[in-house]
Structure 1
Amino acid sequence: MSNIVLKGMITLKLTGLKELYTDMKTKGIKRYKFVFTYSSVSFDVFFFTDETPFKLMFGVKAHNFYFEVNVTKGFVIDTNLGDKYTQLRKILGLQYDPDNPFKTFYFFSAFNKKIPKRADVNHKPEPSDIAYYRSDIEESEKIYFMGWRDNEKRGEKVGAENLHKTRLLLDFEAYLTCKRKNISSRWTHDKSLAQSFHLPD
């Protein structure tokens, strides 16, 4: 683990991610979910490797809070969270102390030590797991994937908002396929109608 200061940014190399990523690749896993606890607060952590740069998303359901960081080449992140910093500090129960301010570098350094080294195939996130934190999607109450619609057969065109939802909740390859073949992802609020995710034909 090392840190570098670039143009006012404090970057951190997440050495722990390298081992996890290597194991994910071996097992054909592009998206992974695990839990990280810091200051008695549990975070859902999502590691997305289906597009570049890779992404880490941290969420706390009890506070309806999440943030994302880009993971660049060498598993390097920028530890600056911008306007999410104050909310994170409050969620962690840390009072502002001008003499000893909370640094997100501490948070990510602790996280680096807790990253699992092996990927469990049962810990791939469901689209609904991700959707819980993403209200910025089309029909945000419909969080369960239920297949594909071929727009060519209907003489219709896949919408930009549907493509955005496909990209966020499924994966980048599905997004590219849908864009190329004019296919829409279909969604429902009824969990009993959910289908396992598979790429469109």
Structure 2
Amino acid sequence: MTLKLTGLRELYADMRTKGIKRYKFGFTYNSVSFDIFFFADETPFKLMFGVKAHNFYFEVSVDKGFVIDTNLGDKYTQLRKILGLQYDPDNPFKTFYFFSEFNNRIPKHADDKNKPEPSDIAYYRRDIEESEKIYFMGWRDNEKLKEKVSPENLYKTRMLLDYGAYLICKRKNISSRWTPDKSLAQSFYLPD
């Protein structure tokens, strides 16, 4: 079943006005707090729902017209359990209701302070190289070193930073640099 996220359209319009490509906000359902990440730099757009207390996340593609598929596949059962809902054949949990409630609570305006840090996203994305290195530390020009950017580094750049940065790095043979030490972190900027 599909659902049109009308609330996301309003948030996206405000994000565009303010030049924000990625946004983070909270959502609570059945007393469970979710971190929500909206990636408007990808095609299709993506929504990521994360629950730190359960080390759980899932992603949903946002197609043209802000339409999502409410079917979560193999994540359905885990989400139901995290929400504390028992299986009831007479009244089964429907993700359509979950996403409808989410749609009603999407903020209409974007706050510059709610741009996610790479480390916020990395908490949930453990499928990246050197997953303990979650703080952005700048760029490395592989041309000068006569080396080649790795596919794994490009993937990490795309997942944690920005799709535009990924494209620049791929085209110019640049690697993103990372550290586990928060004190060495730099603010994200696009490579030259």
SS in 2 for 1:45: strand
**Partner residue in 1 for 2:39:** 48
2:185 is aligned with 1:177? no
- 1:115 partner letter: I
Separation of aligned partners in 1, 2:139 and 2:115: 21
Q: Say which SS state the counterpart of residue 74 (structure 1) adopts.
A: helix
Partner of residue 64, structure 1: 55
Amino acid at match of 2:24: K
Structure 2 residue 123 is matched with structure 1 residue 132: yes
> Are 1:80 and 2:71 matched, yes or no?
yes
Normalized against structure 1, the TM-score is what? 0.95
CA RMSD in angstroms comes to 0.3
- AA aligned opposite 1:65: F
Alpha-carbon distance in 2 for matches of 1:154, 1:74: 45
1:195 alignment counterpart: 186
Deviations 1:28-69 (A, max 9, x none): 000000000000000000000002100000000010000000
- Alignment of 1:107 with 2:93, yes or no, is no
Structure 2 residue ranges without an equivalent (≥5)? none
Q: What CA distance in whole angstroms lies between the structure 2 residues aligned with 1:122 and 1:28? A: 13
Q: 2:141 aligns with which of 129, 150, 158?
A: 150
Pairs aligned (count): 192
